[in-house]
């Protein structure tokens, strides 16, 4: 598609997203817009149906529900924590700066004192005057030493606090891009990584495949065994997906029971091999409900793979992969279909 057509389509998606936000009186913030723009692109039809069903049943939908459906992280809490950590770091840096200022002033004062004593020594004519000058110098040196120890202790405490805050910032950075239940990437991080991988594929003219996978009959698992058991299934499937990832691959939970795997520098047939290994590993797991020891049977997953076409938009690639995923479900589940089939 040419740039003009792509622009017009993007604007149409944006207008549709804003229209839904206005109709449902949703807050006009980036978090809400991101979910509704995803809705507008129709790149995740099954998730869109959940949104439509929720609105039909309840007369509306909350931002928290949209986050859960589309797999976006709790950005509000992350932003609050980031603000608190930034304030803490600024406070510690202020303390360090103040301590360094005191240290510089202390050195300057001691230097002036030494210069004064040296001048007195130049003119000292008797033993008493010489002894007095030396005593003054020793007292000044001891005073500097005591203050230096106090400043060193203060700097050490500030250094420890800065290290602690930096570790919390790194933890927060991980939290902001990770799905808490599965520890896979969340949808926000997935979308950023997909943009990056597509740009890399354009630049280097290398292959790129997107795999979308969905747990078969997941709603029945929740209904029969409860949400806690469903969460355990999600964690188990996520762990199985991780076993087949290379260092440059990106796996994410992009919705309730939907997963996405970005496979850079991989051709379609190789991507199908990876996806089938994932599917077979999940199918081979016998799940037991921890609280009761009850067998939950075997869980299966279906998948769809699309190969990136140079210049297309992320939601077009996702839509094609999603079409393949739903074809796999229509043809009996527990299989993977590529977009060349």
**Residue 84 in tokens:** 């608190």
Look at residue 56 and tell me if it is in a domain: yes
- Average pLDDT for the chain: 81
In terms of residue numbers, what domain contains 92? 75-176
pLDDT for position 122: 58
Look at residue 38 and tell me if it is in a domain: yes
Look at residue 262 and tell me if it is in a domain: yes
Q: Which residues are catalytic?
A: 257
Which CATH number is 246's domain given? Answer: 3.30.70.270
Look at residue 201 and tell me if it is in a domain: yes
Residues 221 and 306 in one domain: yes
Question: Which range is least confidently modeled, 158-162, 181-185, 318-322?
Answer: 158-162
Look at residue 204 and tell me if it is in a domain: yes
Residues 47 and 83 in one domain: no
Residues 301 and 256 in one domain: yes
* Model confidence at 139: pLDDT above 70: no
Interior angle at CA 278, CA 311 and CA 249, nearest 5: 40
pLDDT for position 172: 64
Residues 43 and 91 in one domain: no
pLDDT for position 87: 64
Residues 193 and 334 in one domain: yes
CA gyration radius, the chain:
31
Question: Which range is least confidently modeled, 47-56, 136-145, 159-168, 321-330?
Answer: 136-145
Q: Which of 116-120, 243-247, 286-290 has the highest mean pLDDT?
A: 243-247
Q: Do the beta carbons of residue 265 and residue 335 sit within 8 Å?
A: no
The SS3 assignment for 241 reads helix
Residues 224 and 332 in one domain: yes
Look at residue 181 and tell me if it is in a domain: no
Q: Do the beta carbons of residue 250 and residue 274 sit within 8 Å?
A: no
Residues 287 and 301 in one domain: yes
The SS3 assignment for 124 reads coil
The DSSP 8-state label assigned to residue 226 in this structure reads -
Residues 236 and 156 in one domain: no
Look at residue 258 and tell me if it is in a domain: yes
Identify the band that residue 163 occupies on the pLDDT scale cut at 50, 70 and 90. Answer: confident
* Model confidence at 2: pLDDT above 60: no
**CA–CA distance, 193 with 190 (Å, rounded to integer):** 5
* Model confidence at 158: pLDDT above 80: no
Helix then strand then coil, in percent of the chain rounded to 5, is 65, 10, 20
The string of pLDDT tens digits covering residues 73-105 is: 655 555 556 556 566 666 766 666 666 656 655
The string of pLDDT tens digits covering residues 202-241 is: 998 888 999 999 999 998 888 888 888 899 999 999 999 9
Residues 233 and 321 in one domain: yes
Per the structure, the count of domains in the chain is: 3
Residues 193 and 331 in one domain: yes
Element spanning 154, H or E: helix 127-176
Strands (E), the chain: 208-215, 250-253, 258-264, 286-288, 295-298, 301-307, 336-338
Look at residue 182 and tell me if it is in a domain: no
**CA–CA distance, 195 with 263 (Å, rounded to integer):** 13
Residues 282 and 253 in one domain: yes
| pTM (two decimals) | 0.66
> Domain boundary residue among 14, 38, 70?
70
> Domain boundary residue among 40, 70, 100?
70
Beta bridge partners of 301: 215
Residues 246 and 320 in one domain: yes
Mean per-residue pLDDT for 259-279?
Answer: 95
pLDDT for position 253: 94
**259-296: b (≥16 Cβ within 10 Å) or e:** bbbbbbbbebeebbebbeebbebbeeeebebeeeeeeb
Q: Which phi-psi region, left, alpha or beta, contains residue 209 (left: φ > 0; alpha: ψ -120 to 50)? A: beta
Identify the band that residue 198 occupies on the pLDDT scale cut at 50, 70 and 90. Answer: very high
Query: Based on the number of CB atoms within 10 Å of its own CB, is 161 exposed (0-12), middle (13-18) or buried (19 or more)?
Result: middle
> Domain boundary residue among 16, 48, 70?
70
Element spanning 12, H or E: helix 3-23
The string of pLDDT tens digits covering residues 41-68 is: 888 777 888 889 899 999 889 888 887 7
Query: Based on the number of CB atoms within 10 Å of its own CB, is 18 exposed (0-12), middle (13-18) or buried (19 or more)?
Result: middle
pLDDT for position 340: 80
Identify the band that residue 152 occupies on the pLDDT scale cut at 50, 70 and 90. Answer: low
**CA–CA distance, 257 with 237 (Å, rounded to integer):** 10
Q: For the chain, what's the residue count? A: 341
């Amino acid at each position: 598609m040419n740039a003009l057509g792509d622009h017009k389509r993007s604007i149409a998606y944006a207008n549709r997203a804003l229209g839904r936000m206005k109709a449902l009186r949703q807050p006009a913030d980036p978090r809400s817009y991101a979910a509704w723009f995803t809705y507008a692109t129709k790149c995740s039809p099954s998730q869109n149906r959940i949104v439509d069903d929720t609105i039909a049943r309840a007369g509306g939908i909350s931002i928290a529900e949209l986050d859960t459906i589309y797999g976006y992280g709790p950005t509000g809490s992350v932003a609050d924590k980031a603000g608190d950590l930034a304030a803490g770091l600024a406070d510690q840096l202020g303390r360090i700066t103040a301590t360094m200022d005191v240290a510089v002033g202390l050195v300057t004062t001691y230097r002036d004192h030494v210069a004064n004593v040296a001048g007195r020594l130049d003119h000292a004519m008797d033993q008493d005057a010489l002894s007095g000058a030396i005593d003054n110098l020793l007292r000044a040196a001891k005073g500097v030493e005591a203050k230096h120890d106090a400043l060193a202790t203060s700097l050490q405490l500030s250094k420890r606090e800065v290290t602690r805050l930096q570790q919390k910032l790194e933890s927060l950075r991980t939290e902001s891009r990770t799905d808490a239940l599965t520890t896979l990437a969340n949808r926000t991080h997935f979308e950023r990584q997909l943009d990056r991988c597509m740009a890399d594929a354009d630049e280097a003219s290398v292959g790129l495949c997107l795999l979308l996978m969905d747990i078969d009959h997941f709603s029945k698992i929740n209904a029969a065994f409860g949400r806690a058991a469903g969460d355990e299934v999600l964690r188990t499937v996520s762990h199985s997906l991780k076993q087949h990832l290379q260092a440059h691959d990106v796996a994410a939970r992009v919705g309730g029971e939907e997963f996405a795997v970005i496979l850079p520098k991989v051709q379609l047939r190789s991507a199908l091999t990876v996806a089938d290994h994932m599917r077979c590993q999940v199918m081979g797991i016998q799940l037991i409900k921890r609280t009761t020891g009850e067998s939950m049977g075997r869980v299966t997953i279906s998948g769809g793979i699309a190969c990136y076409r140079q210049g297309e938009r992320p939601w077009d690639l996702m839509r094609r992969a999603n079409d393949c995923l739903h074809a796999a479900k229509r043809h009996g589940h527990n299989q993977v279909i590529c977009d060349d089939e």
